[in-house]
Structure 1
Amino acid sequence: MIILNRTEFDYVKMLLNKIKVTCPTFAYSILDGYIQGTVYADSRFPKTVMFGTNSGIYFVVGEINNLDFNNFLYELYRQRKNKKLRFTLFSSSEKWNCAIKNQLKDEIKQLRRFSFKYDIDKELDDKKLLCSDYSVEKINAEIIKNSLEFNKEYYKEYWGSISNFIENGFGYCILHDGKVISECSSIFSSQQFAEIDIVTHKDYRGQGLASIIAKEFIDYCLKNRIVPRWDCDVSNKPSIKLAGILGFANPEEYSIFV
């Protein structure tokens, strides 16, 4: 097992294109230098690759028969779990699902998720008008300071720092009398993709605010030639419903292990 440097990332991108697998946005975030992370591989011209964020989110892809590489993966999982550190592993195929389950058995839990594709041709309803005491703002450092959900700790976990998010990410929020009540932010983004993370304050739910702010986010993506992405658990019916309203369709199921 080796760790690749940025000069070798183009070959990894070629590998991802060759095997035509749906790759989570955070992997592209690492490859494009939007966030810090590690790319592990079986060789300098890899057949098996694993991406790891500094916060403990991983994605493994490629051939499953590299025993030394696989043993490193499983040992890394056990080491992080023993230290009570996060280890969330995204799997790229059913073969990897079986390999992970066969090796780690009852040590690990499998969760099923959907990854939706954005239908650029779908016509969305016009944005609803907000009352005069509501306003839409692009997320900045001041808004982050006053957010209850997407706060400093959130951006530190996924982006490393607020300043890195401001430089490489984006998002929008709705304010009510200056209070942050609904937010749609890029939990990860890259040159090509932006993955949506969205939340509305519990006292303001049921007003359609999530769809309003998500459309702002999607509009920004389309104007900047970025593909918006929507992922959620297969059991999250409200999220699946909202995804359909916003133009996300044809979900592909994948597994994560925690």
Structure 2
Amino acid sequence: MIYEADRQVKNKLNPMFESMDDTIIFSCLQGHLGTAWVDDLENPSVAQIIVGIFVIYAGDPHTKEAEEMVRNLPEFALVIGETDEWKQLIETVHQDSAEKFQRYRFEKNPDHLDRTHIQNIISPLPEGYEMKKIDKAIANEPSLHKVSEDFISQFDSVEDFLARGTGFAVVKDGKVVCGATSYSIYDEGIEIEVATHPDHRGKGLATITSATLIEDCLDKGLYPSWDAANETSVHMAKKFGYKFKESYDTYCIERSS
């Protein structure tokens, strides 16, 4: 049996995850977003963190609770195991549905992000496009969620996002066509989510919007963490000054209904 961890139990999990440099983990263990599951509330030996579509495991993968946790997934999940043993368990349990791909981490060093350089990236938008801070109207705009379902979905509500999250959107003809938001939040910063509508790509919108969000975070003393899902995102991160650290295995798993 597995148990949902409260804030006190989450504090016990920090040593278990300390080798994993992931702001999703920070967000959950610091009590901002998501849930954590353990095998034992007093002395946990295995743990699962869920924030949005991200699921991360640590601890002993050989327990029966570990397999239960590996089955404890949202309908669509990006799953990360700490060790080869975890990866083997994930592949065994979800052998018919797990698709492995690479994500890319960057060093989390504020010194790599030069404010002047970031400001210089924020060039004027093409004619007809307008940059806006995400407010209640934009957060409720259906076009925002068509660009990406993950802009604010980790938060309890629009009001919760507006109170604790942050983001910017590019609007054209009253519709959101690009956005950059806080996918998650943690004590020292945010994890960036950026996406552009397919019909409006190739215009530099994602670069300008991301740079706007990065500058805003730096102004507030927050670190804008970047984790890339593909080579295009890697290239964009390097443009801002992020230094590549490593690639890592991730499993895309969609549960059958």
Q: 1:68 maps to what in 2?
A: 64
Choose which of 239, 247, 250 in structure 1 pairs with 2:244: 250
Alpha-carbon distance, 1:133 to partner: 5.2
- Describe how 1:15-94 pairs up with structure 2 within 5 A: 15-17=16-18, 20-23=19-22, 25-53=23-51, 55=52, 57-65=54-62, 67-76=63-72, 85-94=75-84
Count of paired positions: 245
2:177 aligned counterpart, secondary structure: strand
Calculate the TM-score normalised by the size of structure 1. Answer: 0.80
Amino acid at match of 2:124: L
What is the CA-CA distance between 1:168 and the residue it aligns to? 1.5
Q: Shift of residue 86 of structure 1?
A: 2.9
Structure 1 counterpart of 2:103, from 81, 95, 113: 113
| Counterpart mapping for 1:188-203 below 5 A | 188-203=184-199
Q: Percent identity?
A: 21
Aligned-partner Cα distance in 2 for 1:212–1:40: 41
What amino acid sits opposite 2:3 in the alignment? I
2:208 aligned with 1:212, yes or no?
yes
| Secondary structure of the corresponding residue to residue 72 of structure 2 | helix
Q: Which amino acid aligns with 2:17?
A: L
Contact 1:34 1:190 in 2 (8 A): yes
Quote the Cα distance in structure 2 between the aligned partners of 1:107 and 1:128: 43
Deviation at 1:256, TM superposition (A): 2.2
What is the rounded CA distance, in whole Å, between the counterparts of 2:4 and 2:139 in structure 1?
A: 34
Q: Does 1:142 align with 2:132?
A: no
Change (3 A) 1:43 1:35: closer
- Secondary structure class of the residue paired with 2:145: coil
Judge conservation of contact 1:4–1:44 (CA < 8 Å) in 2: no
More helix by share: 1
C-alpha displacement of 1:171? 0.5
Structure 1 position 148, deviation (Å):
1.7
By how many angstroms is 1:64 displaced?
2.6
TM-score, with structure 2 as normaliser: 0.80
- CA separation in 2, counterparts of 1:156 and 1:62? 30
**Could you list the per-position Cα deviations for residues 110-134 of structure 1 after superposition, in whole angstroms to 9, with x for gaps in the alignment?**
2221122355335426121346754
How far residue 167 of structure 1 moved from its aligned partner, in angstroms, is: 1.5
2:163 alignment partner, SS class: helix
Aligned-partner Cα distance in 1 for 2:97–2:149 = 28
How big is the alpha-carbon RMSD for the aligned residues of Structure 1 and Structure 2?
A: 2.9
Q: Is residue 26 of structure 2 the alignment partner of residue 3 of structure 1?
A: no
Offset at 1:31?
2.6
CA distance in 2, matches of 1:142, 1:45: 46
User: Cα gap change, 1:180/1:107 in structure 2, threshold over 3 Å: closer, same or farther?
Assistant: closer
Give the partner amino acid of 1:71.
E
The Cα of 1:60 is off from its aligned counterpart by: 0.4
**Secondary structure of 1:167 counterpart:** helix
CA distance 1:223–1:14, shift in 2 (3 Å): farther
Deviation at 1:170, TM superposition (A): 0.7
Q: Which runs of 5+ in 2 are unaligned?
A: none
